[in-house]
Structure 1
Amino acid sequence: MNKTTMKVLISLTMTVAMAFIMLFPSNETTASANSSKYDSIYNVANSKLGTRYVYGSTGPSSFDCSGFVRYIFKHGANKHLPRTAQSQYNTTKKISKKQLKKGDLVFIGASTKSIYHVGMYIGNGEMIDAQNRGVVKESIHAPWWHVVGYTRAI
């Protein structure tokens, strides 16, 4: 094989390798990007702790639960979610409790067809959500909650 052919083959191989890396990033790269998005969303959510609850409100000075989740994802990750908790559940990727990670959504209701509350999981069995006490951090295992599902929005 002459030098020109060898250079072309090496160049072609490098181009294919780079395209493959761009199309299929490693889990580390994806995990890092998701962690960064979570941090951004969490920072927006955390900045709203104590903000008052108003049914139907979408922020920034008051929220209901789905308005809060919609706001923090829009401002923290430029991710647009539907307006209601039920619609947010219906349009995001369903996951199991075992797959639950920081940044995932926790849905409360009578069933998956009757969801009335949503919060964002922040780790250690806790979520941040907007409810009658305003925006708070609390256990997802509180006796007044009936968790019916989990989803991943990012």
Structure 2
Amino acid sequence: MSHSIIKSALKPLLLLAALFAFAVSAYTSANAANASSSDQSYSKVLKVAKKHLGASYVYGAVGPTHFDCSGFTKYVYNKSIKKSIPRTAQAQYNGTKKVSKSNIKKGDLVYFGGSKHSISHVGMYIGNGTMIDSQNRGVITEKVYSPWWHVVGFSRPATLSYDD
């Protein structure tokens, strides 16, 4: 067989191989995108948060048995959906997508303090005006709007899917 015959016979095979590689790549990318979005469910985030109810508060602690407020939210997001958020409450507010009070969803973070530039506490909204947070009584659920908290903002660290 001459060199030119082999070369012309290989062209369709190379084209077919390239198309196959493209199809496999597209299929893998689509499945990875679907897997990552379905892996970001509120139920996973809530499950990890509730698992730590009663854990004690320790300033600067990031879990898994002791938490401060932002250590708790950082831990919950990382362990549940592998989402890394900043360490402190102020940095979490500054580094995540802001949402309005009217657009708050379960799993969003609620910030407290003197102003948006002086945040001293963070909790995770769990619906019906309540949050789960780590404060001096440990990890508890409590009302967002309480006399001892001054809400200054809300953010959405991740777009979560909801089962309900």
- Quote the residue 1:90 is aligned against: 94
- Select which of 112, 117, 131 maps to 2:135: 131
- Select which of 35, 48, 53 maps to 1:49: 53
Q: Size of the alignment, in residue pairs?
A: 128
- Quote the residue 1:105 is aligned against: 109
Superposed displacement of residue 33, structure 1: 3.5
RMSD: 1.9
TM-score, scaled to structure 1: 0.78
Looking at structure 2, the residues matched to 97 and 77 of structure 1 have their Cα atoms a distance apart, in angstroms, of: 24
- Quote the residue 2:83 is aligned against: 79
What SS does the corresponding residue of 1:41 show, helix, strand or coil?
Answer: helix
Q: Which runs of 5+ in 1 are unaligned?
A: 1-14
What SS does the corresponding residue of 1:151 show, helix, strand or coil?
Answer: strand
Matched to 1:59, the amino acid is G
> In the TM superposition, what whole-angstrom CA distance separates every residue of 1:100-134 from its partner, at most 9, and x where no partner exists?
00000000010000000000000000000000000
- Select which of 37, 41, 64 maps to 1:37: 41
Looking at structure 2, the residues matched to 33 and 75 of structure 1 have their Cα atoms a distance apart, in angstroms, of: 15
Give the number of the structure whose alpha-carbon radius of gyration is greater. Answer: 2
- Quote the residue 1:146 is aligned against: 150
The runs of at least 4 consecutive aligned structure 1 residues that moved more than 2 Å come to none
Q: Percent of counterpart pairs with the same letter?
A: 54
Q: Which runs of 5+ in 2 are unaligned?
A: 1-22, 159-164
